[in-house]
Structure 1
Amino acid sequence: MSLGSKKILIVDDEPRTRQGIKQTLEVWAGGRYVVETADNGVEARERLLHEQVHLLITDVRMPEVSGIDLIRSLKERPRQPVVIVISGYAEFDYVQQAMRLGAFNYLLKPLDKAELLQVVEAALKQEEEVQRREKLEKLVDPKLFQIDPDGSGMGEPVREAITYVEQHLQEQLTMAEVAARIHLNASYFSVLFKEQAGVPFSEYLSRLRIQRAKEMLLQSRLSIGEIGERVGYKTDKYFIKVFKSLEGISPSRYRNQHIEDNQTEIQ
């Protein structure tokens, strides 16, 4: 998602404050962000239901629908904007409520431009980090996520095997070869690995290869064949077969689907 597609919504029933923030942010953003306003909480709540807003800057006290009400309404949304609240000195109890509800930070009136920009930049960085984590969580194979090499139930031989596999994933690995590397009988290693990792070695190897492949599909422009080769598959055909067995779709469809999802998010 490009920065220029990200939206900042300013909500305040005081025209001077609302326009002042808008002008300050537009000059600072230089076209990198879309900066919009709403003059009351009712309008803002409706827009938040139907539009993707990345940063919400709202006054805490407004007639009918307050900033606190707006923050509460966001709990129903799957993707919530980062929230900055604005208040006067006499309204600090409202600020405390907003912070308890998950607001990122607050600004006191009269607003200081330098402080406004500092807080906005920090809020947008957090929003980027939340998005990055969400995307990584979607990529992670849940079975791989459950394998903890540093956990108390993981012995040194299996830990060594996992490290070796991660470092040599592009090679034609076999269970017998990995077992020999850590000086264990292949049959014993097979039982030990499944017991401590929770999955058979062959399944672990396939899942790890496909995990790496998914990352490359989304983070590079390498061809399907090149990606398959880099994660240890000799032929495109076999790589595609294993990928489909674990993900339910082909590597090319997986890549295109995520491109389409990103374009939908931008709109």
Structure 2
Amino acid sequence: MDKERTILIVDDEETTLRGLTKSLEVWADGRFRIRAAASAGEALQTAQAEKVHVLVTDICMPEMTGLELIEEMQQMGQQPVSLILSGHSEFEFAQTAIRLGVLNYLVKPVQKKKLIQSVEEALEKEFTQERAGIMQKAADHSLADLEQDHKQMTSPVQAGKDYIDLHMDRQMTLKEVAEHVHLNPSYFSVIFKDQTGLTFSEYVTRKRIQKAKQLLLTTTIPVAEIAETAGYQTAKYFNKIFKEYEGLTPGQFRRNHK
């Protein structure tokens, strides 16, 4: 989590907004961007200008309720983890809040400790969701199906897959993996294809590309280093294979998904 994460506070009560903003600014200490909006309209303007990761909003405002604000932001493509503020102890909007994925409901006046704890939980949830989204973008559905069907594989094939996964950062041959599982290379090749639906070389390539995509999406490591980490001896060859599978160069893939 870093300074690129934005926490937006929305409240039409000036004193409350100022107090919440100051509390979070002191707590954040520059680690996150803290934005404040005195109305739903201002909040939507902020959401148009930048991605909002955590939303802390009053529920009762003149233009629209906090829940309506969340819906508007979702229609804009923004999916912040949301916290609701209210001056009432009764939770009249429970069903709508649950449907919209509101994480927590804070009753005014909000205790500073409770506010910070809730924001930390929201950041953690947002970070987890973002990671899940990244992993989904990097996922290879053929490999995902294999992981679900691993119980149907015999021990040698599973052991071979495990060996490949552990040595992804270097060159390896079918003969090497077959010897590791104590089988003849030709026989191992046949049963591997039969049980995985992929040839040995295709499985290795798909695993390498998937690993590369994860690194492209989650790090700023140069493409040449990613190529090496994924087991390719040259960046040029890595770029060629990556484009064959993804239709984009590694650099284009990284830019498109950032």
TM-score by length of 2: 0.84
Residue 70 of structure 1 aligns to which amino acid in structure 2? L
Partner of residue 258 from structure 1, selected from 250, 254, 257: 254
Shift of 1:130: 1.9
Q: Residue 82 of structure 1 corresponds to which residue in structure 2?
A: 81
Shift of 1:9: 1.5
Which sections of structure 1, spanning at least 5 residues, go unmatched? 263-267
Q: Distance in 1 between matches of 2:254 and 2:240?
A: 20
What are the Cα deviations for residues 148-199 of structure 1, in whole angstroms up to 9, with x where unaligned?
1773322212101101112233444222332343233434433322232222
Aligned-residue CA RMSD (Å) = 2.8
Equivalent residues of 2:150, 2:158 under 8 A apart: no
Shift of 1:57: 0.7
Shift of 1:223: 6.8
- Partner-residue secondary structure (3-state), 1:56: strand
Q: Percent identity?
A: 42
Equivalent residues of 1:149, 1:162 under 8 A apart: no
Q: Distance in 2 between matches of 1:175 and 1:141?
A: 22
Q: Residue 26 of structure 2 corresponds to which residue in structure 1?
A: 27
Q: Residue 265 of structure 1 corresponds to which residue in structure 2?
A: none
Q: Residue 184 of structure 1 corresponds to which residue in structure 2?
A: 183
Shift of 1:222: 6.1
Q: Residue 243 of structure 1 corresponds to which residue in structure 2?
A: 242
Residue 184 of structure 1 aligns to which amino acid in structure 2? L
Q: Distance in 2 between matches of 1:245 and 1:261?
A: 18
Shift of 1:96: 4.9
What are the Cα deviations for residues 75-111 of structure 1, in whole angstroms up to 9, with x where unaligned?
3344411101011335411245313320111110121
Q: Distance in 2 between matches of 1:101 and 1:220?
A: 33
Q: Residue 123 of structure 1 corresponds to which residue in structure 2?
A: 122
Shift of 1:20: 1.4
The 1:174/1:34 distance shift into structure 2, 3 A limit, reads: closer
Q: Distance in 2 between matches of 1:4 and 1:164?
A: 39
Range with bigger deviation, 103-112 or 235-244: 235-244
Q: Distance in 2 between matches of 1:15 and 1:227?
A: 49
TM-score by length of 1: 0.81
Which sections of structure 2, spanning at least 5 residues, go unmatched? none
The 1:109/1:211 distance shift into structure 2, 3 A limit, reads: same
Residue 163 of structure 2 aligns to which amino acid in structure 1? Y
Q: Residue 210 of structure 2 corresponds to which residue in structure 1?
A: 211
Q: Distance in 2 between matches of 1:240 and 1:43?
A: 44
The 1:95/1:10 distance shift into structure 2, 3 A limit, reads: farther
The 1:234/1:65 distance shift into structure 2, 3 A limit, reads: closer
Q: Distance in 2 between matches of 1:220 and 1:42?
A: 35
Q: Residue 41 of structure 2 corresponds to which residue in structure 1?
A: 42
Q: Distance in 2 between matches of 1:14 and 1:189?
A: 70
Q: Distance in 1 between matches of 2:227 and 2:44?
A: 47
Shift of 1:67: 0.8
The 1:106/1:205 distance shift into structure 2, 3 A limit, reads: same
Q: Distance in 2 between matches of 1:15 and 1:22?
A: 10
Q: Distance in 2 between matches of 1:237 and 1:125?
A: 38
Q: Distance in 1 between matches of 2:174 and 2:235?
A: 22
Q: Distance in 1 between matches of 2:228 and 2:223?
A: 10
The count of aligned residue pairs is 257
